Amino acid sequence: MTEPDDTDPDEIVTVLLPEDEYTHTPDAAENYNESMYLNAFDLGLEAGGWFRLGNRVNEGHAEMSVCVYLPDGRVGFMYDRPKIDNNDAMDAGGLTITVVKPFEHLTVTYDGRVCLLDDPSEMADPRAAFRNNPMVTCSVRLNYRGVSPMYGGKPQYADGREIETLNGFAKAHYEQHCSVTGTITVGGADGADGADGADGVDGVVMEIDGMGLRDKSWGPRYWQALTWYRWLPMVFNENFAMMLSVIDRGTRDDGSTRTPAASGMVLVGDEYHRVTDCRIEADWNEAGEQTAMRCRVQTDQREYEVTGEVLSMIPLRSRRTTPDGDQLHTRITEAMTRYECDGHVGIGMSEFLDQVVDGWPIGVPR
């Protein structure tokens, strides 16, 4: 990359290229992760789902997640670590994410099974949840088309030098709001809506005509690199959507306390207005899981007040053992959430990540 002579080579710039939509050559970090995530929700159905592939090729496996929220409150979930030996595609464990046209059109397909939970909270103990609930067929066929600009990219120095992030959460990250159409089928092995299929569960076919958000990141990642975060992607219509983020990265090396960092964007028409401040106040149940939230959002253009109500939530976890033998435990509560702002009703996610310390999520008041 060539910069004008008056550009400070140490200035940090953000770069995003069409080829970044495809997979990258992994760097040498053991925990290199190339991840694509897409969610989709139909407000009329109050249903949808999210889908993620994270290629950890230097560890020899991918992370594959499929989560489907049914209109009746049930949740279908699958997690797997299929083996991979290259980073050539986002295709593992039956889940395939395809870039049809960079920044404009992607597809998601899945053919496999999900654990169908009448009570999604059971996934707090995944071994018991998978043992005690039925495994049923699941088929996903979704088209994503961008309705917004791209947000984010890869921070680097102006002269092209990399920014070191060996123990970070990712070295590059971008997002985009999309319209989403297609079908999600759960249960009923013959795929017929209401049919009792070979898996013994009545089939549910959801015709999705809604919206969602997609993101991509690559670079070293540990889920334990952050103390906690609150991530709220939401859509009201093709001209009004948001992504709100508040991240607490814990104390600095010198022991001083960092202020949680707010970021995000508001889609207004065909442009993004960057979030300059965001305050999220949540209500909690007895397990320390979010049930509702009130958000105050500031951009350079105006202030917004957003309220959210959780419709369906599943608690997930990630665990890692350090070289010293310490067991680290991260909890991520994934909630389909109905939002209201400026008289508009929308739908999306509230994803709350917390490190668990002494048996309790660190960012949740006792």
- Give the torsion sign (CA, 207, 209, 210, 215): positive
CA distances from 298 to 23, 83, 266, 274 (A): 34, 44, 10, 9
CA distances from 205 to 6, 96, 134 (A): 58, 20, 18
Share above pLDDT 70 across residues of the chain, in percent, rounded to a whole number: 91
pLDDT at 198: 54
The CATH label, of 2.40.370, 1.10.3210, 2.30.30, 2.40.160, for the domain at 7-221 is: 2.40.370
Q: Are 215 and 97 spatial neighbours (Cβ–Cβ below 8 Å)?
A: no
The backbone torsions φ and ψ at residue 173, rounded to the nearest 5 degrees and listed phi first, read -160, 135
**223-366 belongs to which homologous superfamily?**
AttH-like domain (2.40.370.10)
Long-range contacts of 128-135 (CB under 8 A, 24+ apart): 134/199, 134/200, 134/201, 135/199
Closest CA to 67 of 363, 291, 332: 332
What are the residues whose beta carbons fall under 8 Å from the beta carbon of 123, sequence distance 6 or more?
75, 77, 115, 117, 129, 314, 315, 316
pLDDT at 2: 42
Residue 106: how many other CB atoms lie within 10 Å: 25
CA distances from 3 to 8, 31, 153, 172 (A): 9, 32, 18, 20
Q: How far is Cα 159 from Cα 18, in angstroms, rounded to an integer? A: 20
Written as six digits, the tokens of 23 are 């997979």
> How buried is residue 210: exposed, middle or buried, by Cβ count under 10 Å (0-12/13-18/19+)?
buried
* Longest alpha-carbon distance in the chain: 69
User: Do 7-221 and 223-366 come out as alike in CATH topology?
Assistant: yes
**Tens digit of each residue's pLDDT (9 = 90 or more) over 203-246:** 999 999 999 999 999 988 776 778 999 999 999 999 999 999 99
pLDDT at residue 193 above 50?
no
Q: How far is Cα 184 from Cα 204, in angstroms, rounded to an integer? A: 8
Q: How far is Cα 33 from Cα 58, in angstroms, rounded to an integer? A: 9
pLDDT at 195: 45
Residue 252 binned pLDDT confidence (cut-offs 50, 70, 90): low
- Boundaries of every domain in the chain: 7-221, 223-366
Q: How far is Cα 91 from Cα 109, in angstroms, rounded to an integer? A: 10
CA distances from 307 to 91, 109, 212, 281, 345 (A): 36, 32, 18, 10, 10
Long-range contacts of 331-334 (CB under 8 A, 24+ apart): 331/355, 331/356, 331/361, 332/223, 333/289, 333/290, 334/50, 334/67
Q: How far is Cα 198 from Cα 288, in angstroms, rounded to an integer? A: 38
Q: How far is Cα 175 from Cα 148, in angstroms, rounded to an integer? A: 10
Written as six digits, the tokens of 266 are 């508001």
Q: How far is Cα 51 from Cα 32, in angstroms, rounded to an integer? A: 20
pLDDT at 13: 87
pLDDT at 249: 84
pLDDT at residue 255 above 70?
no
**Tens digit of each residue's pLDDT (9 = 90 or more) over 295-350:** 999 999 999 999 999 999 999 999 888 788 888 999 999 999 999 999 999 999 99
Residue 168 binned pLDDT confidence (cut-offs 50, 70, 90): low
Q: What is the chain's percent helix, strand, coil content, to nearest 5?
A: 5, 60, 35
Written as six digits, the tokens of 237 are 């219509």
Q: Please indicate, yes or no, whether the overall pTM of this predicted structure exceeds 0.85.
A: yes
Share above pLDDT 90 across residues of the chain, in percent, rounded to a whole number: 77
Written as six digits, the tokens of 15 are 């770069």
